[in-house]
Amino acid sequence: MKMLFGVISLLIVLAIVGVSMSHRTRTLSVSATPGAASDAAANGTPREQSQAIQQRVADDLAKAMNQAAEARKGVEDK
């Protein structure tokens, strides 16, 4: 009897985790392509999608570097 309850409990936990992960992956796939590159990333060829993602990463990196430089400049001025 204990074994039966253990198996049922395990199946319930696996079902909950599976549903949770499917919701999470849907959310990630929707939020993975916001911004200007979303049109090319959503509707283009794999090459266009790759280039759009690479451009977005490069833009985000440049933005982060500029913010870091401005923050460092502000700290040095004090």
Q: What is the pLDDT of residues 14-73, one digit of tens each?
A: 999 999 888 887 776 655 555 555 565 567 889 999 999 999 999 999 999 999 988 888
Per-residue pLDDT, 72: 86
Residue by residue, DSSP assigns 2-71 as HHHHHHHHHHHHHHHHHHHHHHHHHHHHHHTS-STTHHHHHHS-HHHHHHHHHHHHHHHHHHHHHHHHHH
Q: What is the dihedral of CA 68, 74, 76, 78, to 10 degrees?
A: -150
Per-residue pLDDT, 22: 85
pTM of the model: 0.44
Over 90: is that where the pLDDT of 8 sits? yes
